[in-house]
């Protein structure tokens, strides 16, 4: 069944395909809305998350404000899902960097060149040529 994102009774409702969006990325995204909105995540069906935002304030939001909120939530869900993907793809690199940072110099190698000319660019030689 295909669900359509909508605005209904001062509430923004977005549907996210569970095969595309991780639960972690949805909750990380919604965390930033928690100060101004009641957030709710449930399943619309076995493969679709139903995400809703309703203002905590009793003030009604205008249709324009609700439409902008809907667009922002859609963008933020994509943003946080992408962050989750990048985090998973770069996990090995981050683990290696952390291991290197805390290795106490066990695997350090001496860099090529000397301290005064680490990249092998002799300024005096160039100036004399």
Over residues 28-47, the pLDDT tens digits come to 999 999 999 999 999 999 99
DSSP-derived letter for residue 89 is H
Note the maximum CA span of the chain. 79
Compute how many other C-beta atoms are within 10 angstroms of the C-beta atom of residue 68: 13
DSSP-derived letter for residue 114 is B
Share of the chain above pLDDT 90, in %: 68
Confidence of residue 11 (pLDDT cuts 50, 70, 90): very high
> Using CA atoms, how far apart are residues 115 and 91, in angstroms rounded to an integer?
33
Give me the domains of the chain, ranges plus CATH numbers. Answer: 6-93 (3.30.70.60)
Residue 117: strand, helix, or coil: strand
pTM: 0.72
DSSP-derived letter for residue 58 is S
């Amino acid at each position: 069944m295909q669900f359509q994102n909508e605005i209904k009774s001062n509430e923004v409702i977005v549907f996210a395909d569970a095969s595309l969006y991780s639960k972690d990325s949805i909750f990380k995204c919604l965390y930033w809305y928690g100060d101004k909105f009641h957030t709710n995540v449930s399943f619309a069906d076995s493969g679709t998350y139903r995400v809703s935002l309703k203002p905590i304030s009793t003030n009604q939001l205008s249709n324009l404000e609700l439409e902008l909120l809907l667009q922002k939530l859609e963008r933020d869900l994509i943003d946080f899902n992408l962050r989750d993907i990048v985090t998973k793809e770069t996990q090995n690199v981050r683990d290696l960097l952390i291991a290197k940072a805390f290795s106490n110099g066990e695997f350090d190698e001496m860099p090529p060149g000397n301290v005064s000319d680490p990249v092998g660019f002799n300024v005096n030689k160039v100036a004399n040529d």
